[in-house]
């Protein structure tokens, strides 16, 4: 019966700053316990610049044997020295190479960025994003004009489906928000107007506020949160799944195919939703008019008729048209700009909502200044 071979270790006294270890036999999990601790103590105690491990007598080596060599290397390098392997059998060299491969160099920690550099980077990113948006606005307008001039080539079914999801299904939220806005505005205004005996002008305030400002604005904000984010998520997911690239490969313009139906749907549905928002807000004010001031709904309607003109109505609807294009355009642009994995879709959705609300606020302020100077 053949006796199992063991691991052997011979340690030569250090000479000329070199410690020589002679390893032989079978280097495996069941044989290395006899020499592991002695070899490590020899290397750690010698503290010489170089250690040579002569392994020409090794007959077998597995991962545990290679782990011994790694432990010897770590012990020697911790004291600032180096280790060299001599005469190791070629048959087991791949195992050792796997564990003794060079360590990756430690990357220095990133330098701390000062507030000046952070401000500069933020400004540069803002201007880049603005330039991208301006370029996309031109492309979206071209696609929109193409859709209007080529109705037969337009995806009518997708446009109608988008009008349903972005418009009809948004109606309950728009009615609820606008009605509550009219109600709150009525209560807050009634307290102040009563101090000056101007209760009758509550209808003027609510009617003009809803028709000229709050109706289009609240409709646009609701659509940004509901539909703009959905557009960004849908197109962003298609970008991640390379469906947009597939459309380009088939010779289909993805902007005309995906963006034009959504922009047309927002273009037509936003003014309609604004009309319902105006009615809901005015109805909320009527509740305050009758419940708090004790006046009749007929008087409320008569006062509204005197206060609101066609210019007020159409200026609000024009705002709604522009807001609808902004909501759909920003949502689609953020979706087309999506890069990366699943988290990028969430970032695009968030960016669509934030960018949409900011652009709506900026555009609304520009409209207010322009209408004031034009006397509208």
Residue 218 and residue 326 in one domain: yes
Which SS3 state, helix, strand or coil, does residue 9 take?
strand
CB 335 within 8 A of CB 235: yes
Q: For position 96, what pLDDT does the model report?
A: 67
Residue 83 and residue 143 in one domain: no
185 inside domain? yes
CB 320 within 8 A of CB 220: yes
Quick: pLDDT tens for 115-166: 788 888 888 888 887 787 777 777 777 877 877 777 777 778 888 888 888 8
Q: How confident is the model at residue 270 (pLDDT cuts 50, 70, 90)?
A: very high
Residue 360 and residue 271 in one domain: yes
Range of 203's domain? 135-374
**Which CATH number is 63's domain given?**
3.30.750.24
State the CB neighbour count (10 A cutoff) for residue 146: 15
346 inside domain? yes
304 inside domain? yes
Residue 36 and residue 169 in one domain: no
Structure tokens at 346: 């969430």
Q: For position 4, what pLDDT does the model report?
A: 58
Strands 82-86, 18-27: pairing kind: unpaired
Last-in-domain residue among 52, 79, 99: 99
Residue 220 and residue 344 in one domain: yes
Give the mean model confidence (pLDDT) for residues 49-60: 85
Residue 38 and residue 156 in one domain: no
Residue 26 and residue 174 in one domain: no
Last-in-domain residue among 52, 80, 99: 99
Residue 88 and residue 165 in one domain: no
State the CB neighbour count (10 A cutoff) for residue 107: 6
119 inside domain? no
Structure tokens at 107: 């990357």
42 inside domain? yes
Residue 33 and residue 162 in one domain: no
Average pLDDT value for the chain = 84
Query: How many folded domains does the chain comprise?
Result: 2
Q: How confident is the model at residue 101 (pLDDT cuts 50, 70, 90)?
A: low
Residue 91 and residue 175 in one domain: no
248 inside domain? yes
Nearest-angstrom CA–CA distance, 148 and 154: 8
Give 197: exposed, middle or buried? Use CB within 10 Å, 0-12, 13-18, 19+: exposed
Residue 94 and residue 155 in one domain: no
Asked whether residue 365 carries a pLDDT value surpassing 50, the answer given is yes
Give the mean model confidence (pLDDT) for residues 159-178: 89
Give the mean model confidence (pLDDT) for residues 315-338: 89
Last-in-domain residue among 99, 121, 148: 99
125 inside domain? no
Q: For position 107, what pLDDT does the model report?
A: 67
109 inside domain? no
Is the model more confident about 149 or about 298? 298
Q: For position 141, what pLDDT does the model report?
A: 78
Q: For position 210, what pLDDT does the model report?
A: 92
Residue 177 and residue 311 in one domain: yes
Quick: pLDDT tens for 180-228: 999 998 888 888 888 887 778 888 889 999 999 999 999 999 999 888 8
Quick: pLDDT tens for 61-89: 887 888 888 888 888 888 788 888 888 78
Asked whether residue 20 carries a pLDDT value surpassing 70, the answer given is yes
Phi, psi (rounded to 5 degrees) for 22:
-110, 115
Q: pTM for this structure?
A: 0.66
């Amino acid at each position: 019966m053949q006796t199992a071979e063991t691991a052997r270790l011979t340690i030569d006294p250090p000479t000329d700053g070199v410690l020589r270890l002679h390893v032989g036999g079978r280097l495996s999990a069941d044989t290395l316990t006899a020499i592991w601790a002695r070899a490590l103590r020899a290397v750690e105690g010698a503290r010489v610049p170089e250690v040579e491990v002569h392994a020409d007598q090794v007959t077998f080596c597995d991962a545990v044997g290679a782990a011994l060599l790694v432990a010897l290397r770590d012990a020697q390098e911790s004291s600032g020295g180096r280790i060299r392997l001599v005469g190791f059998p070629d048959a087991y060299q791949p195992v050792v190479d796997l564990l003794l491969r060079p360590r990756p160099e430690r990357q220095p920690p990133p330098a701390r960025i000062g507030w000046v550099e952070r401000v500069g980077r933020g400004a540069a990113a803002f201007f880049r994003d603005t330039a991208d948006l301006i370029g996309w606005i031109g492309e979206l307008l071209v696609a929109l004009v193409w859709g209007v001039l080529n109705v037969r080539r337009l995806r009518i079914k997708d446009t109608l489906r988008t009008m349903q999801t972005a418009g009809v299904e948004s109606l309950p939220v728009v009615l609820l928000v606008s009605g509550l806005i009219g109600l709150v505005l009525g209560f807050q205004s009634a307290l102040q107007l009563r101090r000056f005996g101007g209760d009758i002008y509550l209808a003027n305030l609510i009617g003009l506020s809803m028709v000229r400002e709050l109706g289009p604005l609240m409709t646009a904000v609701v659509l940004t949160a509901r539909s703009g984010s959905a557009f960004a998520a849908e197109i962003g997911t298609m970008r991640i799944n390379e469906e947009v690239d597939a459309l380009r490969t088939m010779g289909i313009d993805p902007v005309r195919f995906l963006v034009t139906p959504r922009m047309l749907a927002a273009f037509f549905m936003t003014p309609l939703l604004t009309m319902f928002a105006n009615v809901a807000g005015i109805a909320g004010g009527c509740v305050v008019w009758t419940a708090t001031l004790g006046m009749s709904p007929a008087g409320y309607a008569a006062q509204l008729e005197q206060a609101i003109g066609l210019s007020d109505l159409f200026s609000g609807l024009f705002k709604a048209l522009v807001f609808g294009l902004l909501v759909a355009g920003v949502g689609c642009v953020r979706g087309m700009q999506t890069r990366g994995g699943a988290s990028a879709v969430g970032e695009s959705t968030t960016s669509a909502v934030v960018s949409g609300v900011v652009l709506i606020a900026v555009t609304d302020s520009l409209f207010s200044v322009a209408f004031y100077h034009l006397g509208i």
